[in-house]
Amino acid sequence: MASANSISCEIATNLRTDILKQRYLSGERLPSERDLASRFDASRGAVREALSQLEQSGLIEIQPGGARVKPIEAASISVLGPLMALNEIPDTALVDQFLQAFGALSALTAREAINHASDEDMNRLRQIVVSLNKQAKDFETMQPPWREFLKALAEIADNLVVHLISNDLRAQFVEQMVRLGLSPELRKQTVNEVLSSLKRAIANRDGDLAHAAVQKYFDEVRGAVHKMVDSRLGAQRKLVG
C-alpha cells in the first residue's frame, strides 16, 4: 500500500504538471479539496499536504476559498527541473537562460576565489585543471572534473549564497540535462583556450582572467546546446512531416 507521503507527492507532481502546462492559468482557482480527493482517489488530508507542497514551491497560494494559481515567475527554482521535463526536447530559451545565469554566477565565483585563495587552495585548483586537461575529450567526460572545479571555487570563495544557489541550479538542471541526453559538442580549440587561460589565471593569481575563462566556457556550452537542440527539433519536424 502506498504511504500517505508518496500519495501526496504523486498528487503534487500531477498538479504541478497541470499548472506548468497551463491547464490551470495564473489567477485561476484549483478544484476544491473534495474534487481533487475524488480525482486522485485519495483522502482530503493527502490532497491538503500536496497543496501545501505546491504552495512551498510558489506555484499556488492557499486562500480561505481555495487554492489559487500564481504566476510562474513567482515560483521557486525548484520548478526548473520539472519545466525542462515537460517535453522530450527542452525549451531552448529556458536552457539558454539557465546557462547564462549559471555561467555568470560561476565566473564571478572564479574571480573571487582566485583573488582570495591560499597557496594550498591554488594547488588544489591546479590539480583539478590538470585533470580537466586529461579528460577534455568531450563534454560528458569533462563534467566530473568540471563540477569538482566549480565546487572548489565556491568553497574557496566561501560564499554561502553562491553555494546554495549553485546547489539548487545543479540539482534542478544538470540532472535533467543528463536524463535528456544533452551532451553538446564543444569546439576543441575553444576548450583548449579555456583550459590554457585557467592555467595562467592560477599561476598568476589573476582573478579577472579566471572570470573570463569560465565565462568563455559557458558561452561555448550555450552555443553548442542551442545548436544541438535546434538539430533535434529539426529532426523531429521531419519525422512529423
Class of domain 79-240: mainly alpha
Query: Which one has a higher pLDDT value, 138 or 154?
Result: 154
pLDDT tens, residue by residue, 34-79: 999 999 999 999 999 999 999 999 999 999 888 999 999 999 888 8
Instruction: Note the pLDDT of residue 2.
Output: 54
The pLDDT of 197-221, averaged and rounded, is: 96
Instruction: Note the pLDDT of residue 111.
Output: 96
Alpha carbon distance 223, 110 (integer Å): 21
The pLDDT of 108-114, averaged and rounded, is: 95
Instruction: Note the pLDDT of residue 178.
Output: 66
Query: Which one has a higher pLDDT value, 178 or 74?
Result: 74
pLDDT higher than threshold 80 for residue 144 = yes
Instruction: Note the pLDDT of residue 1.
Output: 43
The pLDDT of 123-136, averaged and rounded, is: 93
Instruction: Note the pLDDT of residue 19.
Output: 96
Burial class (CB in 10 A: 0-12, 13-18, 19+), 43: middle
Instruction: Note the pLDDT of residue 240.
Output: 62
Cell 549553485 belongs to 166
Instruction: Note the pLDDT of residue 174.
Output: 66
**Inter-residue contact 69 to 20 (CB < 8 Å):** no
pLDDT tens, residue by residue, 152-177: 998 999 878 777 777 777 766 666 66
What residue spans define the domains of the chain? Answer: 4-74, 79-240
Instruction: Note the pLDDT of residue 176.
Output: 67
The pLDDT of 79-83, averaged and rounded, is: 84
Burial class (CB in 10 A: 0-12, 13-18, 19+), 183: middle
Q: Which of 182, 192, 181 is nearest to 216 (CA)?
A: 192
For helices 33-40 and 4-20, what crossing angle results, to 10°?
110
- Cell (9 digits) for 95: 536552457
pTM to 2 decimal places: 0.80
The gap from C-alpha 21 to its chain's centroid, in whole angstroms, comes to 19
The pLDDT of 194-201, averaged and rounded, is: 96
DSSP assignment of 78-136 equals GGHHHHHTTSSS--HHHHHHHHHHHHHHHHHHHHHHHHH--HHHHHHHHHHHHHHHHTT
Q: How confident is residue 140, by pLDDT bands cut at 50, 70 and 90?
A: confident
Instruction: Note the pLDDT of residue 36.
Output: 96
Instruction: Note the pLDDT of residue 22.
Output: 94
pLDDT higher than threshold 90 for residue 28 = yes
Pick the CATH number of 4-74 from 3.40.50.150, 1.10.10.10, 3.40.50.300, 3.30.360.10: 1.10.10.10
Average pLDDT of the chain to the nearest whole number: 88
